[in-house]
Amino acid sequence: MFGPVFGYATTLVDDQQLAYVGPLTPGVGWRLLWRMAERCHNDGATETRKAEWIVSQASRAFICGSGVVVKLSDADWVMEPGGWLVELGGSWCNQDVLVTGNLTVPALAAEQIAPKHTYYPQYVD
Protein backbone atom coordinates (compact mmCIF):
# COMPACT_ATOMS: atom_id res chain seq x y z
CA MET A 1 0.00 0.00 0.00
CA PHE A 2 2.86 2.40 0.77
CA GLY A 3 5.71 1.30 -1.53
CA PRO A 4 8.28 -0.26 0.78
CA VAL A 5 7.44 -3.65 2.27
CA PHE A 6 6.99 -3.65 6.04
CA GLY A 7 7.05 -6.60 8.40
CA TYR A 8 4.86 -7.17 11.42
CA ALA A 9 5.45 -9.68 14.19
CA THR A 10 4.09 -10.03 17.70
CA THR A 11 5.33 -11.76 20.80
CA LEU A 12 4.43 -11.96 24.47
CA VAL A 13 7.13 -10.74 26.88
CA ASP A 14 6.55 -10.43 30.63
CA ASP A 15 2.75 -10.33 30.24
CA GLN A 16 2.94 -7.60 27.60
CA GLN A 17 2.08 -8.14 23.94
CA LEU A 18 4.76 -6.48 21.80
CA ALA A 19 4.20 -5.48 18.18
CA TYR A 20 7.36 -5.35 16.07
CA VAL A 21 6.98 -3.30 12.89
CA GLY A 22 9.71 -2.33 10.49
CA PRO A 23 10.72 -2.14 6.86
CA LEU A 24 11.91 -5.25 5.06
CA THR A 25 12.82 -3.43 1.84
CA PRO A 26 16.61 -2.93 1.75
CA GLY A 27 17.75 0.65 2.19
CA VAL A 28 14.53 1.81 3.87
CA GLY A 29 15.06 2.87 7.47
CA TRP A 30 12.56 2.38 10.28
CA ARG A 31 12.20 6.13 10.80
CA LEU A 32 10.13 6.17 7.59
CA LEU A 33 7.27 4.65 9.63
CA TRP A 34 7.33 7.65 11.94
CA ARG A 35 7.49 10.13 9.03
CA MET A 36 4.48 8.39 7.50
CA ALA A 37 2.61 8.54 10.81
CA GLU A 38 3.49 12.24 11.12
CA ARG A 39 2.17 12.95 7.62
CA CYS A 40 -1.06 11.12 8.39
CA HIS A 41 -1.37 12.94 11.75
CA ASN A 42 -0.08 16.42 11.03
CA ASP A 43 -2.36 17.88 13.70
CA GLY A 44 0.23 17.66 16.48
CA ALA A 45 -0.63 14.11 17.52
CA THR A 46 1.38 12.58 20.34
CA GLU A 47 4.01 9.92 19.79
CA THR A 48 1.63 7.42 21.37
CA ARG A 49 -1.09 8.33 18.85
CA LYS A 50 1.38 7.92 15.98
CA ALA A 51 2.45 4.55 17.43
CA GLU A 52 -1.21 3.54 17.56
CA TRP A 53 -1.54 4.46 13.88
CA ILE A 54 1.47 2.28 13.00
CA VAL A 55 0.05 -0.66 14.97
CA SER A 56 -3.39 -0.09 13.40
CA GLN A 57 -1.95 -0.20 9.87
CA ALA A 58 0.04 -3.37 10.59
CA SER A 59 -2.92 -5.05 12.25
CA ARG A 60 -5.32 -3.99 9.48
CA ALA A 61 -3.04 -5.36 6.79
CA PHE A 62 -2.57 -8.63 8.68
CA ILE A 63 -6.25 -9.18 9.45
CA CYS A 64 -7.76 -7.88 6.19
CA GLY A 65 -4.97 -9.10 3.95
CA SER A 66 -4.73 -5.81 2.08
CA GLY A 67 -1.22 -5.29 0.84
CA VAL A 68 0.00 -8.52 2.43
CA VAL A 69 2.85 -10.09 0.47
CA VAL A 70 3.10 -13.27 2.53
CA LYS A 71 2.16 -14.57 5.99
CA LEU A 72 4.79 -16.68 7.72
CA SER A 73 3.56 -18.12 10.99
CA ASP A 74 6.80 -19.76 12.07
CA ALA A 75 9.55 -17.95 10.14
CA ASP A 76 12.61 -16.59 11.88
CA TRP A 77 12.88 -12.83 12.02
CA VAL A 78 15.35 -10.39 13.52
CA MET A 79 14.82 -6.81 14.67
CA GLU A 80 18.10 -4.95 14.29
CA PRO A 81 19.30 -3.00 17.33
CA GLY A 82 18.78 0.74 17.48
CA GLY A 83 15.03 1.03 16.96
CA TRP A 84 12.40 2.69 19.11
CA LEU A 85 10.01 1.32 21.73
CA VAL A 86 6.75 3.10 22.61
CA GLU A 87 4.34 2.05 25.36
CA LEU A 88 0.81 2.23 23.99
CA GLY A 89 -0.75 3.26 27.31
CA GLY A 90 -3.04 0.25 27.44
CA SER A 91 -3.92 -2.33 24.86
CA TRP A 92 -4.27 -1.06 21.28
CA CYS A 93 -5.20 -3.64 18.62
CA ASN A 94 -4.33 -6.25 21.26
CA GLN A 95 -0.81 -4.83 21.59
CA ASP A 96 0.73 -3.13 24.64
CA VAL A 97 4.02 -1.94 23.17
CA LEU A 98 5.24 -0.96 19.70
CA VAL A 99 8.83 -1.68 18.78
CA THR A 100 9.97 -0.16 15.49
CA GLY A 101 13.24 -0.96 13.82
CA ASN A 102 14.68 -2.55 10.72
CA LEU A 103 13.43 -6.10 10.29
CA THR A 104 15.06 -9.01 8.54
CA VAL A 105 13.21 -12.19 7.56
CA PRO A 106 15.67 -14.63 5.96
CA ALA A 107 12.85 -16.77 4.48
CA LEU A 108 11.75 -13.96 2.14
CA ALA A 109 12.99 -13.75 -1.44
CA ALA A 110 14.28 -10.50 -2.97
CA GLU A 111 11.11 -10.01 -5.05
CA GLN A 112 8.98 -10.28 -1.90
CA ILE A 113 10.75 -7.39 -0.19
CA ALA A 114 11.18 -5.19 -3.27
CA PRO A 115 9.18 -1.92 -3.22
CA LYS A 116 5.59 -2.24 -4.44
CA HIS A 117 3.47 0.19 -6.44
CA THR A 118 1.87 2.80 -4.19
CA TYR A 119 -1.16 5.00 -4.58
CA TYR A 120 0.19 7.21 -1.80
CA PRO A 121 3.71 8.34 -2.77
CA GLN A 122 3.28 11.54 -0.78
CA TYR A 123 3.53 9.54 2.44
CA VAL A 124 6.71 7.73 1.44
CA ASP A 125 8.85 10.42 -0.23
CA angle (89, 80, 6) in 5-degree steps: 70
What is the C-alpha R_g of the chain? Answer: 14
Q: What is the pLDDT of residue 45?
A: 82
| Nearest partner of 63 among 15, 95, 97, judged by Cα | 95
End-to-end CA distance of the chain: 14
Say how far residue 123 (Cα) sits from the centre of its chain. 14
- Predicted confidence (pLDDT) per residue in 69-116, tens digit: 788 887 899 999 999 999 998 889 999 999 999 999 999 999 999 988
Sequence ranges of the domains in the chain: 6-105
Q: What is the DSSP string of 61-125?
A: HHHH-TT-----SS---EEPSS-EEEEEEEEETTEEEEEE--EE-TTS-HHHHS----S-HHHH-
Q: What is the pLDDT of residue 88?
A: 95
Reported as a pLDDT band with limits 50, 70 and 90, residue 26 is: very high
- Judged by phi (left if over 0) then psi (alpha if -120 to 50, else beta), residue 44 lies in left
Q: What is the pLDDT of residue 121?
A: 61
d(CA 37, CA 33): 6
Mean pLDDT of 35-47: 84
Q: What is the pLDDT of residue 42?
A: 74
